[in-house]
Amino acid sequence: MRVLLIWPRNERALLSDRLSCCEPLPLEYLGGALRGHHDVTIHDLRLDAPLADYAATHEPPDLVGVAIPYTTSVRVSREVSREARRLWPDVPIVLGGHHPTVSAEWLDGFAADWVVAGEGGAPLNRLAADLEAGRTPQTGVGLAPYDSRTGLERDRRPRPAALNDLPMPDRSLLAHHRQDYFHSIYRPVSLIRFTAGCPYTCKFCSLWRMTDRRYLVKDIDRVLAEIDDIEGQNLYVVDDEAFIQPARMLELADAIDKAGFRKRFHMYIRTDTALRRPDVIARWAEIGLDSVLVGAESMTDDELSGYRKGTDADQTRRALDLFHTNQVKVRANFIVQPNWVGEDFARLGRTIEELQVDMPSFSVLTPLPGTDLYDESRDQHISDDPELFDCYHSLFPTKLPLEDFYHRLADLLAGASARPAPGVASGQDPSVFYYSDNSAFDEMLSGIRLAAGPGRDREPERVPSTG
């Protein structure tokens, strides 16, 4: 059967696809699961024609899948589902993605028949096989009828399978867009996953809850096969934390080197993990570790303790020294607290200079659905608009007037961007992680400054009619 998988575009997002546009790897995994059984097309609305244009030039699909990759995508994904229903009224529609995996919030008003949660390959394959055979699809782990989607609550985080059991992602489905996908300085870029899960329990993160704190790894031969399937040089490793098992990472680095792969890696790592085995960082720097994302979060131990981060500020300083010694660029993310006043913003600006962070990024403390922070703070949220859960808006009351708060946040970004490229960054690298060679970064700053405008705070989610 013909299966059409759709990735949405959110034109209202502050972090626009002109600042970061990564391949929809989850849909490539789904394509891999359906490969050999069904004819799969991935339609990426960030790059492809509008859905109506696609419908005018292609045969109708037999099954449509609409991704809800982030909470901020809920509204645009809802619009996509309703357009798909208008274009193909009799075709079953299934929803899936990170948001329905971690939360049942804001899923009203979609034009949909089924919802998939978790690693979606197996349930989507079952659904497609049942529909093709004319059978009534059977609800199971990770699959529920849309009208009974609350049944996914108990199964929305099904126990993860071994990563080796997942299909190889079918990258051929997006080969025509391979040069269009990028992430900051990595242009073009391909995504890859070595592991899944995290044993730590940060309050603002949902990833450890999705795997019940289990840490899952792929066999080294499987990782090598996936790297071999990627033509480009730049690899964005989207693991929650790739270096939890240092002995394995040393073995993997040696295997990559022996295989003759010459890649440039961007990877996530905790400061305490890096400091535990400096030799692992040095070895990865030798085989292509170009930059790391460090969740510094804060340089005050009180704030770090409140996040349940399990690290301290001194570890951040020492870890940055370790990375710079090995010529690895550092993207460090810092959390902006809603209760901050002017001096707190100024302090963080001085911290960026002191630490010589190559490419800082900033996020407002955000109670993302699926996190302990969300569950504990729901009665404090000043908005129920899913588009504001983007880490650039405050969902909590701010100590400063809201307009002042957003202006200071924008000033923080602008000030970081105006610095000379520090650390080990070359003269061609930016001074903040998200940048653009056009006006996109300035438009992002303008959007942040306007975030306190009418209708952007305390705005309830209004679900469109399904009639």
- Total number of domains in the chain: 2
Q: Are residues 285 and 357 in the same domain?
A: yes
Q: Are residues 133 and 241 in the same domain?
A: no
Q: Are residues 349 and 280 in the same domain?
A: yes
pLDDT value at position 462? 44
Number of alpha carbons in the 13 Å side-chain half-sphere of residue 182? 18
Asked, as a colleague might, if the bond just before 188 is cis with ω within 30 of 0, I would say: yes
pLDDT value at position 463? 44
**Look-up of token digits 């996908």:** 181
Q: Are residues 229 and 356 in the same domain?
A: yes
Q: Are residues 291 and 352 in the same domain?
A: yes
Q: Are residues 149 and 168 in the same domain?
A: no
Structure tokens at 434: 């998200």
461 in a structural domain: no
87 in a structural domain: yes
pLDDT value at position 465? 41
Give the mean pLDDT of the chain.
90
- pLDDT-based confidence at residue 209 (cuts at 50, 70, 90): confident
CA distance 166 to 120: 10
CB distance 129 to 110 below 8 Å: no
pLDDT value at position 460? 40
Of 82, 81, 115, which is closest to residue 98 (Cα–Cα)? 115
Q: Are residues 139 and 266 in the same domain?
A: no
Query: 155-194, pLDDT tens digit by residue?
Result: 544 456 678 888 999 999 999 999 999 998 899 999 999 9
Q: CA-CA distances (angstroms) from residue 146 to 82, 98, 100, 103, 113?
A: 14, 16, 11, 14, 5
Q: Are residues 89 and 186 in the same domain?
A: no
Q: Three-class SS of residue 138?
A: coil
- Burial class for 445, CB neighbours closer than 10 Å (0-12, 13-18, 19+): middle
**CATH code for position 97:** 3.40.50.2300
- pLDDT-based confidence at residue 450 (cuts at 50, 70, 90): very high
pLDDT value at position 451? 86
CB distance 365 to 205 below 8 Å: no
Helices (H), 165-260: 207-210, 220-228, 246-259
Residues paired with residue 291 on neighbouring β-strands, in sequence order: 266, 329
CA distance 362 to 445: 12
462 in a structural domain: no
Q: How far apart are the first and last CA of the chain?
A: 29
Residue 204 has pLDDT above 90, yes or no: no
pLDDT value at position 467? 36
Q: Are residues 322 and 380 in the same domain?
A: yes
Q: What is the mean pLDDT of residues 295-302?
A: 82
CA distance 30 to 24: 10
Q: Are residues 149 and 169 in the same domain?
A: no
Domain limits for position 429: 163-449
465 in a structural domain: no
Q: Are residues 174 and 114 in the same domain?
A: no
Q: What is the mean pLDDT of residues 84-91?
A: 98
Of 170, 183, 168, 176, which is closest to residue 44 (Cα–Cα)? 176
CB distance 72 to 106 below 8 Å: no
464 in a structural domain: no
Domain boundary among 108, 132, 153: 153
277 in a structural domain: yes
**CATH code for position 371:** 3.20.20.70
Q: Are residues 197 and 105 in the same domain?
A: no
CA distance 343 to 144: 50
Residue 427 has pLDDT above 90, yes or no: no
466 in a structural domain: no
CA distance 415 to 362: 12
47 in a structural domain: yes
